[in-house]
Structure 1
Amino acid sequence: MVLAPIDFSDPSRTALDVAARLARHTGAALHVLHAEDPLMAEAARQGGIDLRADTEEELGRFIASTPSAAALAPAKHVAIGPPVDVILSAARTLGADLIVVGSHGMSGAERLVFGSTTEGILRNAGVSVLVTPSAWAAAGAGGDLTGAGPLIAAVDFSPASLAAARSACALAAALGTTTELVHVVPELPVLARWSAHAAAAVREGVETARAELARVTADLHCAVSVDAKVETGGVADRLAAAAAPSRDRQPILVLGRRGAGERRGVPGSTAYRVLTLAKVPVLMHIE
């Protein structure tokens, strides 16, 4: 089941469209949720206004104006409470397999300002989260995700990234596209007189990574074609570049969130920077 929380903003409309297309493509149920602010709800109650009924009507209009979602006649939910709490509670209660949320604008040249809701979901969700950039539009005209791909999995050989690679394979098979595995060997910032040694260390790292990535690729037993690549440079920058869209490519980038024993599962600074730079949907895989 796909859960699409909306706040009636343009980014949430994009997220709803992607959620609906993915649900249609995979045969999943779509549920649309709006969290009503408790203070607003109380003020409306005191004024004799049935805010829940009004919000449900607005939710229906919002869905109706998003053709991919309207075609699925999704289940609608309105709940009162802090958005993150409401969304995570609904995901648990409804048995969601995926939460699809929009990003919320840019500040400066490359710093994405996530709404506190999006960040809270990424930090605390018990299921995978797909973050959609507001400017992204699906290529297919059939109301699904035909034409999306490849699925690009960032692999640093941690358990979380290997799980993300498996998830990328599964989703690629469902969408009828291919998978790419990308590992980035960071360049070493050193004094100029040590640059030759640093370059040698990076070359050695690349060779080691290629061998390990080949083993990972074989162990995946992916049902679709897999292309493995080793890049060098800034990790977030190279991942964003590897997933850059073009006329004939609409990639979806897949990252793995750290496990419970790794800083409480909070996405690291690299993951947040990737989310900042990527111009395509980013799936944060959570087991």
Structure 2
Amino acid sequence: MSTTTGTNSELALRDGARLHYRDSGAGAPAPVPVILLHGWGASGDFFERQTALAGRGLRLIVPDLRGHGRSPGVPGAPLSIAMLAADLRELIAHLELGRYSLVGWSMDAMVAWEHLRGDGLGGLDKLSVVDMTAKIVTDAAWSDGLTGGYPETMVAPTAAAVRANWGRFADISAAKLFARGASPDAALLARLGALMRANAAEGLAQLWTDMARQDYRALLPALGERCQYIYGKESRLYAEATFHHLARMTGTTQLVGLAGAGHAPQWEQPEAFGAALLRHLAADRSGGAGAL
């Protein structure tokens, strides 16, 4: 059962799948709604510590993307980043959002980038990329993927491990969300692991394989100052230098490193994370202050 507050709704998608989403603060005077996109193997519940932002003038839309949470998808239909981006497009159209901001955490930063690459930047107000790189696979020319190096030869074994024992892989992945050296609360760790284990292994293996094919570096310069990067300074997945490099590639000064946070800063540092979102959403595109 989700603990994320707001109106729970379902959208019937083009192929018969149903997309579950929460809509909070819909009556707020905020000029632009914010869509929070969870990561691989997670669900909208992973943003539950941000629900208080709906009381601070924001409209928050939090979907469970296909293959995650309450949006299981169509049995037998393969999952891909492009498919999730198409679902996002349908949700935006269904809610009649002329303008919107996106917050993409982990894999779903790629969903946001895929949406923007396919549909253009016309409707985008702001984008926050949370602890994610533009290309996870590393090679001789690209060291800013998964920390420690993640060559293409490791992709198939990772997907095979997900298929073979997703329960164990989910528990390991949940532990990697937290800051290096941290000892997360056992009950919280168990709960996040259970949320992840509830998702189907096959779809996640397909998404991991597809995610590893993606490269969004060419898109970054078009985003400029409307894009900010939020990352955990103690992330187990990505190096701090990676986000400085991505910011330079994007042409943005909007870079926020949160101390005491790992791959999921929205969990470990929710107040600082929320403040970073609010500052970015309130700024005009030249970096000046605006009003929410």
Normalised-by-shorter TM-score class: under 0.3
Task: Please give the TM-score of this superposition, normalised by the length of structure 2.
Answer: 0.25
Give the TM-score normalised by structure 1. Answer: 0.25
Q: Which has the higher strand share?
A: 1
Between structure 1 and structure 2, the one with the greater Rg is 1
